[in-house]
């Protein structure tokens, strides 16, 4: 008798995703949906998408879903949660969305301790618009708007959102994870579970930051992009749980 | 029906709560601070949500989120604050969300002045954001009208699945006047409406056959987007339908009038009393005052007998004028149009209107 040990999570639509080959985005979406399924939340959750490659989710995610103005997911999600407290509300945002144009919305939702879960995809650039500099772009990294590499004098330094939000009192769960191999994927899934559990327990603002890749705009193969994460991204963005209470 | 003396902004907030508004987000800006302050006091008592946004941009985004849950929801601001909201206003129009926005106008452009003005007419009626969407725009000239219009704005928003803008001004917001407050909508009514709105709200599938997706280019209740041009056409048809269903204006003493004064909002109120004084003086003068400035009441001007008219005096608190151009577009040079204008926070004076009217009227 064969036993089914792996299947497509029920929270994904039956579409083929159009993300670039090797991109972590679809894997992250799948993790979130598999946790939703495990917690039996598919019928009572809504995903609030930012603008960017993140918004391509609308073709894959099977739960209720909103598109929102660029950077505003945390404000939108805070209002949904307060109007409909029984709904599990998650956001899905890139680094341009969450840490640049939406920085105020992110900080203030975290500071209010709004009971939402934020999934933050840090790929060190603006993926959708062609790989421009993001607040998370590494020092020296070439992007389409830092053709000579990011330098401190002109562009300042990469922003560390887990560390920044960890200076606030209200957030209840903050973790940084990645998806470079199976052990890390397992840890990432555990972090997603924690974030959702914090929301179920009414503890307030939770965020999981995914150190992600963008093979297309980094000009690397999927395999090389994983090596780049190990060599360059993780030293700048250390993994771990920053807050759990 | 309760008759009370209230300050404009507080009466606006009370009318909204009685209309069933259960979500408000806003950011401080004069001359409408009493609106959010009133909501912050009252919302906890009616089981509603009050949220102080970190900016107008965020407050309007919060309204977008609340609107997506099918609740009756509102924000208010003033002029330059509304500019910051234009992002989410365009999104709410694109997503067909039933929300109410109140602009208590102040001087402009930019930071302008905190005093009353009517300098946001184009913004309100033509482009409160990108993409060519339209809203119903209600323009109260008295506190009673402000209360009644805010009350009806929520029904209109739900009926048409469209943002509705109440365009008040700092004068109406700041003055105290006796008003009759409408009855509060019952909790049963509001609960039933919210239940009905589950047909499209984004609060979890709850066993529905398909998920809900809201955003620009999506008809509420659909699982995903439609071609944007198709969506634009659907919205256009809705805007066009308002020309037969939603035109609303006051026609005052126009029957035998040889001169028409036209104005909206607070300038309309002052113009009305100018008409009374001119009539007492033997001038055959009438008033056309749109209660909704979008859709514009073209019919009010079309049905005039231009062979009898000496002219039209268009009054507003905006320099350069804005409302004037809509009047001009429908009158099409069939009679001379003069203007009486103030701006930058200065209140238009009845005497100035009377003087301009007499000049245009000529010999009695
Ligand atoms: C107000 C506004 N400004 C700019 C854009 C253009 N834009 C679309 S996607 C995007 C980049 C998003 O980058 P990020 O948040 O890092 O997400 P990613 O694409 O990398 O997943 C930008 C700037 C927009 N849609 N709206
Ligand atoms: S552009 Fe980058 S982030 Fe976007 S799908 Fe492609 S690889 Fe992923």
Q: Is the CB of A134 under 6 A from ligand 1?
A: yes
Q: In Å, what is the CA distance from A190 to each residue of A47, A54, A177, A178, A187?
A: 19, 21, 10, 12, 5
Is residue B223 a part of any domain in this protein? Answer: no
Check B23 against A67: CB less than 8 A apart: no
Q: What is the pLDDT of residue B66?
A: 98
Is residue A146 a part of any domain in this protein? Answer: yes
Is residue A15 a part of any domain in this protein? Answer: no
Encoded tokens for B25: 């987000």
Residue with tokens 């071609």: B227
Question: Nearest CA to B114 among B32, B55, B31?
Answer: B31
3-state secondary structure of B8: helix
Residues 6+ apart with CB under 8 A from A64: A45, A46, A47, B202, B203, B204, B205, B211, B212, B213
Annotate B156-174 with DSSP letters as a single string. HHHHHTS-EEEEEEHHHHH
3-state secondary structure of B356: helix
Encoded tokens for B330: 């429908």
Annotate B259-304 with DSSP letters as a single string. EEEE--HHHHHHHHHHHHHHHHTT--EEEEEESEEES--HHHHHTS
For the entire predicted model, the pTM comes to: 0.97
The CATH number given to whatever domain includes residue B99 is: 3.40.50.970
For residues B164 and B19, state if they share a domain.
yes
Q: What is the pLDDT of residue A15?
A: 85
Contact A54, A94 (CB under 8 A): yes
For the stretch A167-212, pLDDT in tens is 999 999 999 999 999 999 999 999 999 999 999 999 999 999 999 9
The CATH number given to whatever domain includes residue A112 is: 3.40.50.970
Domain end position, chosen among B165, B187, B209:
B187
Q: Searching chain B, which residue's CA lies closest to the CA of residue A102? A: B58
Calculate mean pLDDT across residues A136-145: 98
Structural domain boundaries enclosing B76: 2-187
Q: In Å, what is the CA distance from B7 to each residue of B20, B144, B145, B329, B362?
A: 20, 11, 13, 36, 41
For residues B268 and B152, state if they share a domain.
no
Chain B interface, mutation test: which of A41, A83, A107, most B Cβ atoms within 10 Å? Answer: A83
* Candidate from B54, B62, B225 with C-beta closest to A79: B62
Structural domain boundaries enclosing A87: 25-244
Domain end position, chosen among B142, B168, B187:
B187
- Quote the CA–CA distance of A134 and A136 in Å, as a whole number: 5
Check B65 against A77: CB less than 8 A apart: yes
DSSP B182: P
Is residue A1 a part of any domain in this protein? Answer: no
Q: What lines the ligand 2 site, CB under 6 Å? A: A 19-20, 23, 25, 53, 123, 127-128, 214-217
Q: Residue of the nearest CA to atom 5 in ligand 1?
A: A70
The CATH number given to whatever domain includes residue B311 is: 3.40.50.920
Is residue A14 a part of any domain in this protein? Answer: no
Is residue B19 a part of any domain in this protein? Answer: yes
Residue with tokens 């003086």: B281
For residues B153 and B58, state if they share a domain.
yes
Determine phi and psi for A180, rounding to 5 degrees: -75, -20
Question: Nearest CA to A26 among A3, A72, A57?
Answer: A57
For residues B174 and B42, state if they share a domain.
yes
Check A69 against B64: CB less than 8 A apart: yes
Residues 6+ apart with CB under 8 A from A11: A32, A33, A34, A36, A37, A42, A61, A62, A63
For residues B153 and B280, state if they share a domain.
no
Split into its structural domains, chain A has a count of 1
Residue with tokens 């199976």: A182
Q: What is the pLDDT of residue B222?
A: 85
For residues B164 and B262, state if they share a domain.
no
Encoded tokens for B237: 């048809």
Q: Is A40 left (phi over 0), alpha (psi -120 to 50) or beta?
A: left
Q: Searching chain B, which residue's CA lies closest to the CA of residue A12? A: B211
* Candidate from B51, B55, B64 with C-beta closest to A104: B55
Q: Searching chain B, which residue's CA lies closest to the CA of residue A104? A: B54
Q: C-alpha A103: how far from its chain's center?
A: 14
Using a CB-CB cut-off of 8 Å, the residues of chain B touching A168 are none
Q: Is the CB of A131 under 6 A from ligand 1?
A: no
Using a CB-CB cut-off of 8 Å, the residues of chain B touching A68 are 61, 64-65, 91, 215
Q: Residue of the nearest CA to atom 4 in ligand 1?
A: A70
Question: Nearest CA to B257 among B331, B307, B293?
Answer: B307
Let me know if B227 is exposed, middle or buried by CB neighbors in 10 A (0-12, 13-18, 19+): exposed
Residues 6+ apart with CB under 8 A from B28: B36
Is residue B175 a part of any domain in this protein? Answer: yes
- Quick check: bond before B223 cis, omega within 30? no
For residues B141 and B269, state if they share a domain.
no
For the stretch B265-296, pLDDT in tens is 999 999 999 999 999 999 999 999 999 999 99
Contact A142, A131 (CB under 8 A): no
Q: What is the pLDDT of residue A58?
A: 77
**Rounded (to 5) percent helix, strand, coil in chain A:** 40, 20, 40
- Quote the CA–CA distance of B189 and B169 in Å, as a whole number: 31
Interface of B with A in 91-110 (CB under 8 A): 91
Residue scoring higher pLDDT (A61 or A94) = A94
Q: Report residue A2's pLDDT band, with 50, 70 and 90 as the boundaries.
A: confident
Is residue A17 a part of any domain in this protein? Answer: no
| B55 and chain A in contact, CB less than 8 A | yes
Is residue B214 a part of any domain in this protein? Answer: no
For residues B267 and B178, state if they share a domain.
no
Instruction: Provide the number of CB pairs (under 8 Å) joining chain A to chain B.
Output: 126
In this prediction, the residues of chain B whose per-residue pLDDT falls under 70 are: none
| B276 and chain A in contact, CB less than 8 A | no
Is residue A4 a part of any domain in this protein? Answer: no
- Quote the CA–CA distance of A206 and A173 in Å, as a whole number: 4
Split into its structural domains, chain B has a count of 2
Residues 6+ apart with CB under 8 A from A76: A48, A66, A68, A91, B61, B62, B64, B65, B68
Determine phi and psi for A93, rounding to 5 degrees: -140, 145
Domain end position, chosen among B171, B187, B203:
B187
- ipTM reported for the complex, 2 dp: 0.97
Q: What is the pLDDT of residue B182?
A: 97
- CA A127–ligand 2 middle distance (angstroms): 5
Contact B292, B248 (CB under 8 A): yes
- Quote the CA–CA distance of A76 and B179 in Å, as a whole number: 35
For residues B152 and B58, state if they share a domain.
yes
- Quote the CA–CA distance of B246 and A84 in Å, as a whole number: 32
For residues B258 and B123, state if they share a domain.
no
Determine phi and psi for B166, rounding to 5 degrees: -100, 115
Contact A72, A102 (CB under 8 A): yes
- Quick check: bond before B31 cis, omega within 30? yes
- Quote the CA–CA distance of B316 and B17 in Å, as a whole number: 31
- Quote the CA–CA distance of A6 and B37 in Å, as a whole number: 54
């Amino acid at each position: 008798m064969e036993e089914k040990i792996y299947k497509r999570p029920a929270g994904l639509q039956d579409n083929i995703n159009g993300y670039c080959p090797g991109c972590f985005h679809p894997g992250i979406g799948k993790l979130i949906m598999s946790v939703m399924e495990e917690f039996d939340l598919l019928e009572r959750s809504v995903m609030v998408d930012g603008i960017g490659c993140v918004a391509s989710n609308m073709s894959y995610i099977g739960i209720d879903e909103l598109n929102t103005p660029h950077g505003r997911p945390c404000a939108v999600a805070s209002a949904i949660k307060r109007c409909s407290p029984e709904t599990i509300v998650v956001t899905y945002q890139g680094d341009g969305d969450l840490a640049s144009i939406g920085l105020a919305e992110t900080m203030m939702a975290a500071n209010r301790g709004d009971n939402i879960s934020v999934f933050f995809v840090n790929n060190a650039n603006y993926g959708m618009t062609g790989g421009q500099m993001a607040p998370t772009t590494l020092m020296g990294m070439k992007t389409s708007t830092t053709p000579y590499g990011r330098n401190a004098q002109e562009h300042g330094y990469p922003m560390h959102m887990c560390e920044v939000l960890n200076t606030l009192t209200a957030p209840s769960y903050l973790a940084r994870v990645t998806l470079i191999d199976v052990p890390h994927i397992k840890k990432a899934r555990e972090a997603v579970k924690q974030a959702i559990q914090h929301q179920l327990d009414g503890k307030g603002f939770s965020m999981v930051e995914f150190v992600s890749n963008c093979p297309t705009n980094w000009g690397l193969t999927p395999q090389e992009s994983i090596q780049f994460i190990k060599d360059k991204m993780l030293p700048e963005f250390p993994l771990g749980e920053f807050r759990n209470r | 029906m309760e008759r009370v003396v209230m300050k404009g902004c507080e009466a606006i907030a009370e009318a909204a709560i009685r209309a069933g508004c259960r979500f408000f987000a806003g950011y401080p800006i004069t001359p409408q601070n009493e609106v959010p302050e009133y909501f912050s006091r009252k919302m906890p008592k009616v089981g509603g949500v009050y949220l102080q946004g970190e900016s107008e941009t965020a407050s309007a985004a919060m309204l977008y989120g609340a609107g997506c849950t099918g609740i009756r929801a509102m924000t208010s601001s003033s002029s330059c604050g509304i500019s910051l909201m234009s992002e989410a206003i365009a999104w709410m129009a694109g997503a067909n969300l039933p929300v109410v926005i109140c602009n208590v106008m102040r001087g402009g452009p930019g930071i302008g002045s905190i005093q009353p003005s009517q300098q946001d007419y184009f913004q309100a009626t033509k482009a409160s954001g990108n993409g060519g969407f339209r809203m119903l725009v209600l323009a109260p000239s008295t506190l009673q009208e402000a209360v009644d219009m805010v009350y009806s704005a929520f029904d209109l928003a739900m009926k048409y699945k469209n943002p509705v803008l109440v365009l008040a001004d700092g004068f109406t917001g700041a003055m105290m006047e006796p008003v009759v407050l409408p009855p509060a909508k019952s909790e049963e009514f509001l609960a039933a409406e919210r239940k009905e709105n589950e047909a499209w709200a984004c609060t979890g599938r709850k066993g529905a056959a398909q998920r809900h997706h809201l955003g620009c280019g999506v008809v509420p209740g659909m699982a995903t987007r439609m071609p944007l041009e198709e969506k634009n056409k659907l919205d256009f048809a809705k805007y066009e339908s308002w020309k037969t269903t939603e035109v609303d204006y006051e026609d005052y003493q126009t029957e035998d009038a040889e001169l028409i004064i036209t104005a909206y909002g607070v300038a309309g109120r002052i113009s009305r009393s100018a008409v009374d004084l001119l009539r007492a003086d033997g001038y055959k003068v009438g008033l056309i005052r749109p209660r909704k400035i979008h859709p514009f009441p073209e019919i009010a001007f079309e049905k005039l007998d231009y062979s009898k008219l000496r002219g039209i005096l268009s009054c507003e608190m905006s320099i350069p004028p804005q409302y004037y151009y809509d009047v001009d577009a429908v009158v099409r040079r069939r009679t001379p149009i003069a203007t009486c204008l103030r701006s930058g926070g200065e209140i238009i004076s009845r005497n100035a209107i009377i003087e301009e009217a007499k000049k245009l009227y000529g010999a009695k």
